[in-house]
């Protein structure tokens, strides 16, 4: 009999604890249900642009981010964002004047560098300019299929697609073009790469400038898709911006 | 002996599968490690402003969001964002002219409505204007302690804090003031509520207008904190914006 009373008391205490947490003063302490994860909080804060200018994935989150990238949740997140883009796309049409445009970023938006970052602890190691250069020059980055699907729809529906990338034009022009074509990204209006005058400039400054030029040419930017906030902020950002997940690196 | 060979084959097949997923073509299918969760994807997409104008939490995510709100992860996320704000705050100082300002939203930024939303399935039910009115008139929303801590630091460090809320001034002025004071939010510069002229206007339009006025008065908005993207977008948004988590409702 004592054991049953003890059990009932425990259940009651647990209920009271949970009620008080959701209740009078939330967030005084964690409850027991879910294991609150700092690394999940960090990842969400990255996606919401609350964490900026980070150089590497925090050491305690390297395993978590690896599991995120290869365990299925990254793909699920990608699909969810692309579904939102497609829903928005279904509500708009490209006018006959051929001036309705979309902007897409290249690295980890159209083309996946996950295979490269796998050898860099998925962002646990600091950025390695020379190694990334070799990787990008090979031109073997696979398409992110959800984005390729979106891309095809944009072309089909009569939008002009501009690919704007921070990759240096002189170094990466031919490898990037070949890579994109081999992976099915054909039929875009222009691939706009970083020219000599923007060497060393921040991505937001460079991309804003290029978008402003497009708007000056008469294009209406209906949507803008990138894995970095620096793709999406600044001038002439577009009617809607969409942040593709990427917890592996930060581009200022 | 056959059993051992079979086992080795299984291990090998598993390795190949995972390698191919992280490798040649990512996101063709989910791996086995983690259970990819649509509701987690949805929540992250809300925080990144990829999902907009939603009226209720998706039916299949109501249990998930409840667990998120009371199980500890919401509090963890809050703490992580506030830590980022404090880190940014440590790098700036308020000038002696008294014109360095911060903007904070009220509902679910300074004051928690989790207790109210608990009875509304944490956003699973559509917004109930009359019930929320009764709740807000009671003036018993508890402080979000992490934000109260931030608030105290801002005041201590000489920043002028402006609380800007979409709550109707005529209806909620006294209950909101009392609630804020009772919960420790004292010493702010102004509580700016929705005046009659902005009745029915979107939050971004109303808040932009009020921020523009502050800038016209000479204030420099050093930071802006809110649980809705409509608190943070628009004109004179501030030097840095911070998105406090909220998966329970969307304010346009």
The pLDDT value recorded for residue A27 is: 79
8-state DSSP, B194: E
Positions in chain A whose pLDDT score sits under 70: 1-25, 28-36
Residues of B in contact with A183 (CB under 8 A): none
Q: pLDDT band at B5, cuts 50/70/90?
A: low
pLDDT tens digits for range B57-77: 999 999 999 999 999 999 999
How would you list the strands of the sheet with A220-226, edge to edge? A190-194, A160-168, A100-104, A220-226, A241-243
Topology of domain B38-243, CATH: Rossmann fold (3.40.50)
pLDDT one-digit tens code per residue, B131-149: 999 999 999 999 999 999 9
Least Cα distance to A114 among A74, A169, A81, A85 occurs for A74
Q: A78 or B8: which carries more pLDDT confidence? A: A78
> Where are the alpha helices (H) located in chain A, listed in sequence order?
2-22, 38-47, 62-70, 73-90, 114-118, 129-138, 145-156, 169-182, 203-216, 229-232
φ/ψ of residue B141, rounded to 5: -70, 125
pLDDT at B237: 98
Residue B39 has pLDDT above 80, yes or no: yes
> How far is residue B18 from each of residues A40, A62, A76, measured CA to CA in Å?
22, 18, 16
Question: Could B79 and A37 be called an inter-chain contact, meaning their C-beta atoms sit closer than 8 Å?
Answer: no
Q: Which of residues 38-67 of A touch B (CB under 8 A)?
A: 38, 40-45, 47-51, 67
Decide if B69 and A18 are in contact by the 8 Å CB cutoff.
Answer: no
pLDDT band for position B44 (50/70/90)?
very high
The CATH number of A57-243 is which of 3.40.50.170, 1.20.1440.120, 3.40.50.300, 3.40.50.1000?
3.40.50.1000
Please report the pLDDT score of residue B3 as a whole number: 55
For residue B228, the surrounding DSSP H or E stretch is none
Look up the ipTM and state it: 0.89
Give the span between the Cα atoms of A198 and B52, in whole angstroms: 34
pLDDT at B21: 44
Give the per-residue pLDDT at B27.
80
pLDDT, position A159: 98
- Average pLDDT score over residue span B77-89: 98
Q: Are A161 and A188 in contact (CB under 8 A)?
A: yes
**Which pLDDT does position A17 carry in this prediction?**
43
Task: Read off the pLDDT of each residue in B94-121 and give the average, rounded to a whole number.
Answer: 98
**SS3 state at B35:** coil
Position with higher pLDDT, B34 vs A209: A209
d(CA B180, CA B158): 20
Task: Look up tokens 């956003």; give the residue.
Answer: B123
Look over chain B and give the mean of its residue pLDDT values, rounded to a whole number. Answer: 91
Considering chain B, what percentage of its residues have pLDDT values greater than 70? 87
Domain ranges of chain B: 38-243
Q: Which residues of B touch A142 (CB under 8 A)?
A: 24-26
User: Nearest by CB to A26, which of B32, B42, B142?
Assistant: B142
pLDDT band at B112 (very low <50, low <70, confident <90, very high): very high
The HSE-up count of residue B187 (CA atoms within 13 Å, CB side) is 13
Helices (H), B72-228: 73-90, 114-118, 129-138, 145-156, 169-182, 203-216
HSE-CB at A21 with a 13 A cutoff on CA atoms is 23
Which residues in chain A have their CB less than 8 angstroms from residue B145's CB? 25, 27-28
Of B18, B30, B47, the CB nearest to A48: B47
- For residue B47, give both structure tokens: 């925080």
């Amino acid at each position: 009999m004592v054991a049953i009373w003890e059990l009932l008391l425990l259940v009651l205490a647990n209920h009271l604890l949970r009620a008080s947490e959701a209740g009078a003063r939330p967030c005084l302490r964690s409850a027991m249900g879910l294991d609150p994860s700092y690394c999940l909080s960090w990842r969400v804060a990255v996606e919401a642009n609350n964490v900026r200018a980070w150089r590497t994935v925090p050491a305690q989150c390297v395993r978590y981010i690896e599991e995120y990238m290869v365990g299925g949740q990254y793909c699920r997140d990608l699909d969810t964002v692309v579904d939102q883009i497609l829903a928005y796309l279904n509500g708009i049409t490209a006018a006959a004047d051929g001036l309705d445009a979309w902007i897409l970023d290249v690295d980890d938006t159209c083309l996946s560098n996950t295979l490269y970052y796998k050898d860099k602890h998925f962002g646990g190691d600091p950025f390695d300019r020379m190694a990334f250069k070799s990787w990008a020059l090979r031109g073997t980055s696979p398409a992110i299929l959800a984005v390729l699907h979106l891309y095809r729809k944009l072309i089909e529906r009569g939008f002009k697609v501009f690919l704007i990338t921070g990759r240096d034009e002189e170094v990466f022009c031919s490898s990037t073009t070949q890579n994109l074509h081999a992976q099915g990204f054909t039929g875009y209006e222009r691939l706009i790469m970083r020219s000599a005058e923007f060497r060393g400039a921040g991505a937001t400054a460079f991309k804003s400038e290029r978008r402003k030029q497009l708007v000056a040419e008469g294009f209406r930017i209906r949507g803008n898709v990138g894995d970095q906030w620096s793709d999406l902020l600044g001038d002439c950002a577009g009617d809607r911006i969409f942040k593709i997940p990427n917890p592996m690196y930060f581009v200022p």
